[in-house]
Amino acid sequence: MKRKFALAAVGIAAALALSCGLAACGTGHYIADRTWTVAKVYCRAAENGYGGTEQELGALLAAHEITDLGVTGGEADHEHIFPEWTVILKKACNSIGLSFRQCTLCREAEWAFEEALPHSYGARRVVKEPTCWEKGIALYTCTVCGALKEEELEEGDHVFDTEWSSDAEGHFHKAICGHDAESGREPHTFDGGVCTVCGKAAGTYLVPVEYSGISKYFGENITPWEYLHNGVDFIAEAGTPVFATAAGVITNLGGDMIVIEHEGNVKSWYRCLVIDPSLKKGDAVKQGQKIGVVAEAPNYEGEETHLCFELTFDEQPQDPLPYLGIVPDRYTYGDER
């Protein structure tokens, strides 16, 4: 009894599986039912890439006056005679190919299904440039059907200033797009205390006095002697401390002037000051060490009290301002006097 029940159950399961298989899209149902229906045609068309609905396909067949979809797979007692294919859908890059023909002697039908052609896209056209904060968009146009394909472009690079920025370690181009970023960082290449690339002072030299302005700049003509000024006159009150701009050895000292020699045959000259009496020629001084104070009375009538500071490299006078971190293009002669 149990064996008979088991066999019956297997038989029911097999029947259900067969019925499901015959109802599904594919070729199985054509064996059991040779008649073509819109549903069967749609199933095969969808397998080949048809993107419309079953109702749309039915309307398309009706528009071509195909009302009898025919049968397939039968054994005929005659040789089939097929007319030319009726093209329902022309194969293209946006459409599958679908054609139909039916034997003029019977209902035997043939359906031809062709997969759609791939799009043939032309050159990329950027319609939205990517930025450092937003992705861009590019479009491709199919040269056959005109279909558009959109491509997302990855975020671009930051926008950097063409001028150099710098810090103690090196120089770089700073982002001007609102982001905290930099590009092209390189170490400074110092020559005589100033970077040859960005113009930043090496930081070796300290401003020797706290000043309120500049009364004479390097290279100005000085009357009545008609010679060019070899230093910078920093306006400061009498008694304001004066410091060594860098470590070195005192090579000259006397009156209101002191000269300190530094590494690399660089010398700093300090004039118009009262020299610290504890110092003497040959003494080593540290950077920032107090070497005197601004003199109470200027050398020449009508001058403000000041410190005259000079720098020489290999005995040649140089404009001290860049070496003190005061970049020359940040001032205009005469504006601060």
Instruction: Give percent above pLDDT 70 in the chain.
Output: 81
pLDDT at 225: 57
| Residues 74 and 123 both lie in one domain | no
Between vectors from CA 257 to CA 253 and to CA 261, what angle results, nearest 5°? 60
What are residue 168's phi and psi, to 5 degrees? -65, -30
Average pLDDT, the chain: 81
Identify the pLDDT of residue 176: 84
Range picked from 262-266, 279-283, 324-328 for highest mean pLDDT:
279-283
Chain segment 108-138, per-residue pLDDT in tens: 999 999 998 888 999 999 999 888 878 899 9
Q: Given this model, what pLDDT does residue 156 score?
A: 77
Residue 13 in any domain: the answer is no
Residue 168: per-residue pLDDT: 66
Q: Which of 38-42, 171-175, 227-231, 280-284 has the lowest mean pLDDT?
A: 227-231
Taking the C-alpha atoms of residue 216 and residue 233, their distance in angstroms, rounded to an integer, is 5
- Please indicate, yes or no, whether residues 144 and 232 belong to a single structural domain of this protein: no
**Quick one: average pLDDT of 146-175?**
86
Domain assignment present for residue 68? The answer is yes
* Predicted confidence (pLDDT) at residue 259 exceeds the cutoff of 90: yes
Which residues constitute the domain of residue 177?
A: 165-195
As a whole number, mean pLDDT of residues 146-153 equals: 90
In the predicted structure, residue 23 carries a pLDDT above the cut 60? no
Are 42 and 101 in the same domain? yes
pLDDT in tens, 63-100: 999 999 999 887 788 899 999 999 999 998 888 999 99
Question: Which residue would you say has higher pLDDT here, 127 or 297?
Answer: 127
Residue 34 maps to a domain: yes
| Domain shared by 39 and 54, yes or no | yes
Q: Is residue 8 part of a domain?
A: no
Task: Report the C-alpha gap between 100 and 110 in whole angstroms.
Answer: 6
Residue whose C-alpha is closest to residue 215's, from 198, 239, 195, 231: 231
17 within a domain of the structure (yes/no): no
Give me the sign of the Cα torsion angle 315, 320, 322, 324. Answer: positive
Q: Above 60 in pLDDT, residue 11?
A: no
State whether 322 and 292 are in the same domain: yes
Q: Are residues 135 and 188 in the same domain?
A: no
170/223 same-domain check: no
**Are residues 134 and 58 part of one domain?**
no
> Which CATH number does the domain housing residue 289 bear?
2.70.70.10
9 assigned to some structural domain: no
The proportion of the chain whose per-residue pLDDT surpasses 90, expressed as a percent, equals: 45
Would residue 251 count as lying in a domain? yes
Query: Which of 8-22, 99-113, 129-143, 266-280 shows the lowest per-residue confidence on average (mean pLDDT)?
Result: 8-22
User: Which of the listed ranges 25-34, 182-191, 285-294 does the model predict with the highest average pLDDT?
Assistant: 285-294
Same domain, 220 and 306: yes
Helix (H, G, I), strand (E, B) or coil at 317: strand
What is residue 194's predicted lDDT score, i.e. its pLDDT?
67
Q: Choose between 200 and 40: higher pLDDT.
A: 40
Residue range 238-252: average pLDDT?
A: 95
Q: How large is the average pLDDT for residues 166-175?
A: 82
Q: Considering its fold, how many domains does the chain have in total? A: 4
Residues 185 and 243 in one domain: no
Q: What are phi and psi of 238, to 5 degrees?
A: -60, 140
Q: What is the pLDDT of residue 19?
A: 34
**b/e code 227-237 from CB counts within 10 Å (16+ = b):** eebbbbbbbbe
Q: Check pLDDT > 60 for residue 1.
A: no
Residue 333 has pLDDT above 70, yes or no: no
Q: Do residues 79 and 126 share a domain? A: no
Is there a single domain that holds both residue 189 and residue 234? no
Torsion of CA 303, 307, 308, 312, to 10 degrees: -170
Q: Note if the pTM is more than 0.85.
A: no
